[in-house]
Structure 1
Amino acid sequence: MDVLKAVYLPYESFKQRYGQMEHAILSSEIAGVDLRGAVIRGVGAQGIELSETVRRMEESIPQVIVLLESAVERCINFTGGSEADELILALDDVMLQYISTLQETLKSLRTVCSVDPSSDGPSKKEMEKKDGNQNARRADLISNEEEWSIVQGALQILTVSDSLTSRSSVFEASLRATLARLSTSLSLSVFASSLDQNQITSGIEDGGLSFRGRAALDVAALRQVDVPEKARKLSNLLNQSKDPRFHALPLTSQRVAAFADTVNELVYDVLISKVRQRLGEVSRLPIWSSAEEQSAFPLPTFSAYPQTYVTSVGEYLLTLPQQLEPLAEGISNNDNNDEAQFFATEWMFKVAEGATSLYIEQLRGIPYISDRVAQQLSVDIEYLSNVLSALSMPIPPVLATFQTCLSTSRDQLKELVKSDAGNQLDLQTLYARCGE
């Protein structure tokens, strides 16, 4: 036993510091991965900067996974797996650092995409008014082609999230498999800690170690004899790894999910930003408060066509599926058309729902809806409803209420309320229509 200890003892102090050394190596390697944040460029170049930054993010993920796999291999080669618990701590912590860097990069992308929210400052109403003016000016400066390049670049961020989620999941599954193998090779460590020296030395046969015909015992297991407490903790970890619900990298799993949520928020903000620009000032349009022209003839007092603000939103929504289709096919790897269709439909529903919510909010902000205003709004709402139907999107009940109220003459509204036995009508809408 003394001879065996003399063989591995010179390396013991280094193995005890394995976790620190591994953490330093991984941190240094990951720091070398190119993850520069996006740099704000002039009008016409945001799409290029966005695309380049997303490309660097996506390319960094397999690079980092390779570094993690190398760390696992180093642990096995250097410690025989006896420092698996330290390996997991190092992997988890370094992955948190990497994902934090990805999060910071997302913040820089928000600025490039012009959807960077202000944390502190003026009130919400002031910010909405300020943002509306800025959005209008920005919409004038940015071409339609540039707008779509930003949309397409933002959608590509979803591939970063998808890649990080899938690759980290595969790596964690591989790590669990490695721990399961170690549980076999190191399973004798706790048992060995209870054996006396004579039992151990009697197991030396043909240059190897065995316990009375049992499986060979390697030096990594033998080292655990002198540290029974560590051996028990390691044994508990390896036993837990056999449970399918076990997370080898628990903090990383949580942070990956949080990163995916942040990506979804950013992509949604980009997709809905054009809608915000077009609808931001609808409740304050001059047409709602302009005086009605007097005429000796019963001429129509409203336009037979929907207004520009709603047609631009409708055209944007109708074009969006074309932007989602290639991305959906890429994420589903062209193997599952149903999955691709679900992805595209899910995002279309999010944007369409957000657009109708913003529109309804603006409609409710109109202080008084005269008969002339009601007629024009009825045309506008009908157009948007047709767009939603064309996209196979449901018409929100509140929007349907607006359409019903606006297409009903003022003297018939009371009868409409009485007939609303199912309470399907939105009362706030009715009050605005009646001017109360």
Structure 2
Amino acid sequence: MHNIKQLVLCSILSFMSCRYGQMERAVLSAAMAGIDIRGAISRGLGAQGIELSETVRRMEESIPQMIVLLEAAVERCISLTGGSEADELVLALDDVMLQYISNLQETLKSLRTVCGLDNTTHTDASKKDAGLEKKEAPRLVDVSEEEEWSIVQGALQVLTVADCLTSRTSVFEASLRATLARIGTNFSLSGFGSSMDKLSAGTADDNSGAPLGGRAALDIATIRLTNLPDKSKKLLTVLEQSKDPRFHALPVTSQRVAAFSDKVNELVYDVLISKVRQRLSEIARLPIWSSVEEQGGLPLPSFSAYPQAYVTSVGEYLLTLPQQLEPLAEGISGSEAGNDEAQFFATEWIFKVAEGATALFMEQLRGIHYITDRGAQQLAADIEYLNNVLSALSMPIPPFLSTFHACISTPRDQVRDLIKSDGGAQLDLPTAHLVSKIRRISLE
């Protein structure tokens, strides 16, 4: 009678073996369908910031809901199979998390439209700003100043989604790894591992009719695996690997979380740099560069050359960014992390945007074909202003920009001597030659 019960239970569990992963995927997918992470919809002017905030809130709230579903799946596996389906469980969890993150990415795509980015093509920011990427870069459509800052604030909040997803999945994966290790320990204590070694060697004792490990009681996990040596080896491999702290219980999830964070960073960068890109887009072709003194006019004194609106607008924007970033940084780092981490987060983004702005400005300077003395005087004032802004942000001045400023602010008849002098050793010579070409100065 005892053997009949064992056979019946083994048959039920063997059926479960063939379908467990599939059933768990179906259960999790159905539960996930009830989580609201629908994409953002375009609203009228003045409402983009509201739509952004609401969508980001849904995305962030969905993350702990999803983690609860995963934790419930782990508990089901242990209660229903004693852990014997742990290898199928991790595959199912990885697949469902892949589906969930794909949903988040689709929602993220919808945010680009709501953020007012009129071109969805986005590539590596450093390549775009270095002029290596020739595709049209995304930019904000024309909106009011107030709405522009509202969009910036909404976009910055998406960083909290990436931070929450990264931290929550990391904690869950560590917990899952610990659970797998505990299951492995339980099997080891029951003698399951050594019994499987005997089974694979063809020396297992099978004359008692008892389940593996010599237990008198029907142990659901060991009975489940008695007649499935291939399945048992696969399970033991996973349980053994889980002891390594470098082991990723959810390898695909780990990769996709990192990819999602990258996409979030791209979106935020595109929004933050878009205003700068708009202000600097036509600088190389400004008529002021080729302007000359009117006949009979007095020479333009250097102190009357004030920075133009395009560069003061960019500078004020860069100097305002810290106020926008620091509150968010404090929320992401958490109170226990202190102000240092929050400051680092804000500084990192400020540097990233300032570097992008500087690269865009330098790209425009390279596009100037000709500049008069009056234009040079005006450009010198513009560059000096931007350099002061970068210094206020503790940003280093690129050699290109410092050399360009030195050569454009020097009287035309003294540029050649500047380059040839000992002080010229401090200059970036290719840049100095470029300025000379723009100013039509012969260095021969």
Global fold match (TM > 0.5): yes
Q: Contact (CA 8 Å) 1:99, 1:259: kept in 2 or not?
A: yes
Q: Does 1:252 align with 2:253?
A: yes
Q: Which residue does the alignment assign to 2:107?
A: 105
| Counterpart-to-counterpart distance in 1, 2:153 and 2:241 | 43
Rounded to whole Å, the distance in 1 between the matches of 2:279 and 2:45 is: 19
Residue 233 of structure 1 deviates from its aligned partner by: 1.2
- What's the secondary structure of 2:439's corresponding residue? helix
Which amino acid in the other structure matches residue 201 of structure 1? A
Distance of 1:90 and 1:308 partners within structure 2: 57
Match of 2:179, SS state, is: helix
Deviations 1:331-375 (A, max 9, x none): 111222111110011000001111111111111111102111110
2:432 counterpart of 1:431 = no
Q: 1:35 maps to which residue?
A: 37
In the alignment, the residues of structure 2 paired with residue 302 and residue 127 of structure 1 have an alpha-carbon distance, to the nearest angstrom, of: 38
Please say if 1:91 is aligned against 2:100. Answer: no
**Aligned structure 1 segments of 4 or more residues deviating by more than 6 angstroms:** 202-206
Counterpart for residue 196 of structure 1: 205
When the two structures are aligned, how many residues end up with a matched partner? 417
Contact 1:189 1:224 survives alignment (8 Å): no
221-230 or 412-421: bigger deviation: 412-421
In structure 2, runs of 5+ residues without a counterpart are 123-132
- The residue correspondences of 1:14-413 to structure 2 (distance < 5 A) are 14-119=16-121, 127=136, 138-139=141-142, 142-187=143-188, 188-193=191-196, 194=199, 195-199=204-208, 201=210, 208=217, 218-295=219-296, 297-300=298-301, 303-335=304-336, 336-413=338-415
Distance 1:329 1:287 in 2: 44
- Hey, what's the Cα distance between the residues in 2 that align with 1:63 and 1:174? 16
Question: CA 1:116–1:65 in structure 2 vs 1: closer, same or farther (change >3 Å)?
Answer: farther
Structure 1 position 232, deviation (Å): 1.0
Shift of 1:383: 0.9
Cα RMSD after superposing both structures:
2.4
Is this contact kept in 1: 2:292–2:372, CA < 8 A? Answer: no
Counterparts in 2 of 1:387 and 1:30: CA distance versus 1, 3 Å: same
Q: Which residue of 2 aligns with 1:214?
A: none
**CA separation in 1, counterparts of 2:158 and 2:50?**
14
Measured at CA, do residues 299 and 206 of structure 1 come closer, stay the same or move farther in structure 2, by a change above 3 Å?
closer
SS in 2 for 1:392: coil
- For the 8 Å contact 1:302–1:373, the answer to whether it is kept is no
In structure 2, C-alpha distance between the alignment counterparts of 1:243 and 1:167, rounded to whole Å: 21
Contact 2:184 2:236 in 1 (8 A): yes
Provide structure 1 residue ranges, at least 5 long, that are not aligned to the other structure.
210-217
Measure the CA separation in 2 of the matches of 1:339 and 1:83: 41
Task: Tell me by how many angstroms 1:30 deviates.
Answer: 1.0
SS in 1 for 2:84: coil
Compared with structure 1, are the counterparts of its residues 5 and 189 closer, same or farther at alpha carbon in structure 2 (3 Å cutoff)? farther
Percentage identity across paired residues of the two chains: 66
Distance 2:277 2:214 in 1: 78
1:8 deviates by 4.2
Judge conservation of contact 1:369–1:435 (CA < 8 Å) in 2. no
Find out whether 1:421 has 2:425 as its counterpart: yes
TM-score (norm 2): 0.88
Q: Would you say the 8 A contact 1:192–1:225 is kept in 2?
A: no
Give distance in 1, aligned partners of 2:315 and 2:5.
Answer: 82
Q: Could you tell me which amino acid in structure 2 is paired with residue 412 of structure 1?
A: Q
Indicate the larger mover: 226-235 or 3-12: 3-12
Tell me how far apart the structure 1 counterparts of residues 239 and 212 of structure 2 sit (CA, whole Å): 25
- Amino acid in the other structure paired with 1:424: D
Residue by residue over 1:95-119, the C-alpha shift from the partner in whole angstroms, topping out at 9 and shown as x without a partner, is 1111111111111111111225355
- Displacement of 1:11 in angstroms is 4.2
Q: 1:331 to 1:21 in 2, by over 3 A?
A: same
CA contact (8 A) 1:352 1:388 kept: yes
